[in-house]
Amino acid sequence: MILQKPFTSLIAIAFFCSHLMAGGSIVGTITYEGKIPKLKKFDMTIEPICVQKHETDPARFTGRSEALVLGEGNTLGNIFVQVISGLPEKEYFPPEEPVVLDQNGCTYSPHVLALMVGQPLKFLNSDSVLHNLHTLPEENDEFNVTMPKFLKETLRTFEYAEGMFPIKCDVHPWMGGFVAVLDHPFFAVTQKDGVYKIDGLDPGDYEIEFWHEKLGTRNASVSVKGDETQTLDFVFKR
C-alpha cells in the first residue's frame, strides 16, 4: 500500500495538469492594410560592437525601428493579443519559468512581450557594452537598473496587472520596447508571420483585444465551444 501512494499521486497530478491544458482555442493571423511608412534607421555609431552585429547579421538585426514589423503578405508582428472579458472569476498562478528580454545588438529582443503577475522577467545583456533598464509603468514600481558589460543577467517581477508600458535604455536613446503584465495566461504576441494562438479557454463568449504601439487597440468578439479551435483573423487598417 505504501508503494502505491506515489503512483496514485502521480496519476492525480497528471489528471490535474491535463485538465488545466484542456479547453478551446482561438487562433488567427494579423495583417496590415495601408501605406507602409519608411522606418527610421538607428544611428549606433557610438557603439561599434552593435554596428558590427547589424552589418554582419542583417537577417537578424535590421538597424531600424521595429514600430512596424511586416512579413510576407503584410502579416503583422509585435501585436499583443489578450482576452479582456469573458474569463471565469478564478485565480491563475504564474509560471516559474522566466520570460527573457535580451539586450542584443543594442536592441531589445523581443520588442514586445507579456508575462503574468509574479512571473520572473530575466534581462540578458548579450552585448559587451553598458546598458540601462528603465521601465515606465503606472501601476507597478518603476525601476532603473544599470547593467555593465560584465553583468550578463538580472531578474525582476511585477506585483500588479498592467497594460503595455514602455521600457527604454537611458544610455542608448534608440532602444525601446514594451511590457504588459497580466493576471491570467490567456494572451499572445505575434511574430513576423502575424500568427497567434490562445489555448485552454472554457466554453463561452470572449472579447479579444489587439494592441499595436502605433496603430492603437482594436477589439473583436468570439465564441468558444467545447474544445474546438475558433479562428479569429484581424486586419489593422491605416
Give 170-205 pLDDT, tens digit per residue.
999 999 999 999 999 999 999 999 999 999 999 999
pTM across the whole model: 0.88
Top-ranked range on mean pLDDT: pick from 9-18, 35-44, 91-100: 91-100
Measured distance CA(211)–CA(205) in Å, rounded: 20
CATH topology of domain 24-237: Immunoglobulin-like (2.60.40)
> Distance between CA 94 and CA 57 in Å, rounded?
35
Which residues have CB under 8 Å from 123's CB, separation 6+? 101, 102, 103, 133, 145, 147, 153, 154, 155, 156
CA distance linking residue 28 with residue 188, whole number of Å: 11
Between 59-63, 94-98, 106-110, 176-180, the lowest mean confidence (pLDDT) is in 59-63
Domain ranges (residues) in the chain: 24-237
**What is the C-alpha separation between 111 and 193, in angstroms, rounded?**
15
Closest CA relative to residue 138, chosen from 178, 165, 120, 157: 165
Identify the three-state secondary structure at position 99: strand
State the CB neighbour count (10 A cutoff) for residue 108. 24
For 3, phi then psi, to 5°, come to -70, -20
> Going by DSSP bridges, is the β-strand pair 121-125/131-135 parallel, antiparallel, or unpaired?
unpaired
The 8-class DSSP code of residue 185 comes to S
Which residues have a Cβ under 8 Å from the Cβ of 120 and sit 6 or more positions away? Answer: 96, 97, 98, 99, 155, 156, 157
Residue 16 has pLDDT above 70, yes or no: no
Inter-CA distances, 169 with 30, 77, 104, 179, 232, Å: 29, 22, 12, 14, 36
pLDDT band at 232 (very low <50, low <70, confident <90, very high): very high
**Burial class of residue 5 (count of CB atoms within 10 Å of its CB; 0-12, 13-18, 19+):** exposed
Look at residue 225 in the predicted model and tell me its pLDDT: 95
Pull the grid cell for residue 218.
Answer: 482594436
